[in-house]
Amino acid sequence: MTQRAEDYYVSLGMPKLPESYWQKTQFIKPRDRDVVCHASAWDMTMDGDVRTKMCIKPNEEEFTTIYHELGHIYYYLAYNNQPPLFQTGAHDGFHEAIGDTIVLGMTPKYLESIGLVNAQQQTNEALINAQMRMALAKVSFLPFGLMIDRWRWGVFDGSIKPDSYNKAWWELKAKYQGVAPVTARGEEFFDAGAKYHVPGNTPYTRYFLSHILQFQFYKSLCDAAGHKGPLYECSFYGNKEAGQKYWAMLGKGSSQPWQKTMKELTGGEKMDASAVLEYFAPLQTWLKQQNEGQSCGWQAAAAPAKG
């Protein structure tokens, strides 16, 4: 599975992974000890000793996870020639977007080319189903990704006090996501702590940013590959022009303002969601038809107080 993921990057003209990667990486769960199986990617020496840590199972989710993790690995390898200070992403969102851009390129046509699916003539129903599934992962995540750090920042700047941690959490959930607990949740609960990144003090905006960036990167690589037709059909597998453009961006690390790095790949200095809208255009058209005459959305009310 990992070799297949490597093949996508190599098909773009990127180097093969170093032999040390295959010798030192944890691919499956060891039998003799407990390990943290949460997938992660590492640059041990800032000089090519790259590794991933996973407990891979042969299923679709873990297959795409490997493509994502190798995005980190190839970012490490690309900017290894930079001074240590610049060996990081252009901004927090870049690192998380690199591999996900490749995942967007795992179209039915690509999956058929590697023998995983039989991509017959796609019906409109199948397209809408696929787009809905993708949107539930990519679009629905955006308000959640934003509210996590809205809460964290409120705690840090003192606007969210310790005696209202849970109240503020559910107010933000209502405002951004339109969800509420079934029953009132008082301050004896710490629901924010159920999200790993909160007690782990891991910034979360990087994931929100990456979900915008990956579609911009994807569109830019599709343009570089000369893709014609709907954006969601684009796979740049095997296209050296797209790969060269991507590799050049990765090699910059954080050695220049992220806006300049962004412009060199996308032609613009701003993040925007136009590529997201273009990608999901068929789904948006379908949703407008389904919701015609209905009032959609919500009014965010404060979370109910307990007692």
Q: φ and ψ at 52, to 5 degrees?
A: -120, 160
96 is catalytic: yes
| Catalytic residue (choose from 184, 197, 273, 278) | 197
| Catalytic residue (choose from 9, 69, 76, 246) | 69
Q: 156: Cβ–Cβ under 8 A, 6 or more apart, which residues?
A: none
Q: Write the CA distances from 202 to 37, 81, 268, integer angstroms.
A: 18, 27, 29
Q: Of the candidates 233, 209, 236, which has an alpha carbon nearest to the alpha carbon of residue 221?
A: 236
| Catalytic residue (choose from 79, 207, 218, 237) | 207
CA separation for the pair 220, 265 (Å, rounded) = 7
| Catalytic residue (choose from 96, 97, 218, 237) | 96
If one counts every other C-beta atom within 10 angstroms of the C-beta of residue 124, the result is 9
CB 185 within 8 A of CB 170: yes
Q: Of the candidates 53, 25, 21, 24, which has an alpha carbon nearest to the alpha carbon of residue 39?
A: 53
Q: Which two tokens stand for residue 254?
A: 């954080």
* Owner of token pair 């023998």: 115
CA separation for the pair 122, 125 (Å, rounded) = 8
| Catalytic residue (choose from 38, 125, 196, 292) | 38
| Catalytic residue (choose from 21, 72, 168, 303) | 72
CA separation for the pair 291, 212 (Å, rounded) = 25
| Catalytic residue (choose from 8, 68, 91, 171) | 68
197 is catalytic: yes
72 is catalytic: yes
Beta pairing partners, 50: 43
39 is catalytic: yes
Q: Which two tokens stand for residue 52?
A: 């991933």
- Amino acid at site 305: A
Which residues participate in catalysis according to the annotation? 38-39, 68-69, 72, 96, 197, 207
